[in-house]
Amino acid sequence: MKDNKKVIYWLLTGCILIFIMVVVGGITRLTHSGLSISNYKLISGTLPPMNETEWQEAFELYKQYPEYQKINYNFTLEDFKDIYFWEWIHRVIGRLIGLVFFIPFVYFLIRKQLTKPTIRKCIVLMGLGAFQGFLGWYMVKSGLVDRPDVSHYRLAMHLTTAFITFAYTLWVALDLMFPEKKTIVKGFRNLMRWGMAVLLLQIIYGAFVAGLDAGWIHNHWPLMSDGKLIHETVTIEQEPVWKNFVEGKSGVQFVHRYLAYVVVILIGVIAYRSRKLTLTNFQNKGVQALVALVIAQFVLGVFTLILQVPLWLGVLHQVMAFFLLAAMTFTLHRFSK
């Protein structure tokens, strides 16, 4: 029998690894560890420095780049080891994901356990994984030239692609887990699609906030600061004005804040509209999960901001975004053909 349980377990294992990858990536970002490994070696870079001589060589290489020269010039070797660890484990997990996807895929092909539609979907997954690896290198490269930080645009591409890869992997697994036909309510399905689109936009702006360190300003809620809806700097940081909402810290935080309200409202409308439909058990549970998770994520976002992004809370906020995307993917799948 093609597309058996082993294939489903394989895909779900990939989902779990991508989740771990995103969590470690969040820690890497919040600990400012992402530029600690200045050279990219696909094979030999799998092992960390194994003795003091190799550690010293890696540290000397790090000293040649802007982050050390402009920010971490007082770092000792022990300080360097701390940030090196998170970036190294992040890259190792990336390599592991590549192997976990590729080797079983070849095995299932040889054993003829994949249908043609599943093979096509898996090829798309391989492409997304390869693109994700390229974006990781492309992102790090932006912080090794003249400024000691990565481009927030490239960070957003890297993070969003990871989320999309996870969602698509889960979708393929769900196709195999639930092969039966479903009764579709087109208007409601389109509402779910809008919910997914706005959620992905919110994830992109979350990456902008992380990339610009915009969570460390305007640490007030519900207003941004000084009793005002939005701080004056949004309109005077740079010209043209629209750039403030994609490159200015205040403007990016403003969009991320108020997109959160849009996400909550959309999921509220989804829940309200779903009450008028005859739902299956899984459809109902999906909608309930969306409501619970969006409330938890909103509260986490508020406390992450007010407390000025402590490491554990920043990571938890990103984890909850992951769960919310998973719930949205599952629920949308249950209302799709």
Which neighbouring-strand residues pair with 225? Answer: 228
Distance (Å, rounded) from C-alpha 192 to C-alpha 48? Answer: 45
Angle at CA 24, nearest 5°, toward 128 and 169? 30
Q: What pLDDT score does 146 carry?
A: 75
Q: What pLDDT score does 265 carry?
A: 96
Among candidate residues 184, 243, 250, the one with its CA nearest the CA of residue 216: 250
Q: What pLDDT score does 37 carry?
A: 82
Q: What pLDDT score does 182 carry?
A: 64
Q: What pLDDT score does 208 carry?
A: 94
Distance (Å, rounded) from C-alpha 189 to C-alpha 192? Answer: 5
> What are the tokens at 210?
């992380």
Among candidate residues 7, 329, 1, the one with its CA nearest the CA of residue 177: 7
Number of helices followed by number of strands (H, E) in the chain: 11, 0
pLDDT less than 50: residues of the chain: 230-236
Furthest CA-CA distance within the chain: 68
Q: What pLDDT score does 241 carry?
A: 80
- Digit-coded pLDDT (tens) for 189-228: 899 999 999 999 999 999 999 989 888 888 888 888 755 5
Q: What pLDDT score does 317 carry?
A: 94
Distance (Å, rounded) from C-alpha 154 to C-alpha 34? Answer: 13
